[in-house]
Structure 1
Amino acid sequence: MLELRPSCEQCRRALPPESTVARICSFECTFCADCAVLLQHCCPNCGGNLVPRPIRPERDGRNGNDLQHYPAGTREVYQPTDLQEHARWLDSRGSKPT
């Protein structure tokens, strides 16, 4: 089950569970869509791609798999990335995630 972190790691923009602008990598590092563009859709922490985060239903639609039974996380992670260093790192890899 995804943690659904409450904000962008880069700019601290609020990303509530219903947000359509939240982006995550496979380790659930969380960024807003604007910061994902700045990061070239590549997670600065693991190097994986940043993709839209799924939305967990607010109310029980099936088998109790909703925010009531599985609330969003409250742990805020703030670790802004040096965008110039990130771009250099991406260039050194010779490829970017898609």
Structure 2
Amino acid sequence: MLELRPSCENCNKALPPNSQEAMICTYECTFCANCVNNVLKSVCPNCGGGFEKRPIRPANMLLKHPASTKVVYKPHK
């Protein structure tokens, strides 16, 4: 199950569970679309992989499996 991290690892922008801007790599590193496209150039700085749009977990399932509150903040240049 995806961790659904709460913010962008690069700019710390909030990415709630229903965010259309959240992007993840295969290791669930989480970034906003702006950072993926304009800063990272679609390459994960942690694993070297690409990104996909993070799926949105249905609200009723968030009750059973809530989003993570763990913030990972490691700005990349």
TM-score interval for Structure 1 and Structure 2 normalised by the shorter chain: over 0.9
TM-score of the superposed pair, with normalisation by structure 2: 0.96
How far 1:33 sits from its partner (Å)? 0.3
Q: Determine helix, strand or coil for the equivalent of 2:59.
A: coil
Distance in 2, matches of 1:13 and 1:51, equals 18
Structure 1 residue runs of 4+, over 6 Å off? Answer: none
* Structure 1 unaligned blocks of 5 or more: 60-65, 83-98
1:50, CA displacement in angstroms? 1.2
Corresponding residue for residue 70 of structure 1: 65
Q: Amino acid of the residue matched to residue 77 of structure 1? A: V
TM-score, length basis structure 1: 0.76
> Is the contact made by 1:24 and 1:50 (CA closer than 8 Å) also made in structure 2?
yes
Identity of aligned residues (%): 58
Q: Which has the higher contact order (CA 8 A, sep 6+)?
A: 2
Larger Rg: 1
Give 1:1-98 correspondences, 5 Å limit.
1-37=1-37, 38-59=39-60, 66-82=61-77
Equivalent pairs counted in the alignment come to 76
> Which structure 2 residue ranges, 5 or more long, are not aligned?
none
Shift of residue 80, structure 1, vs aligned partner: 0.6
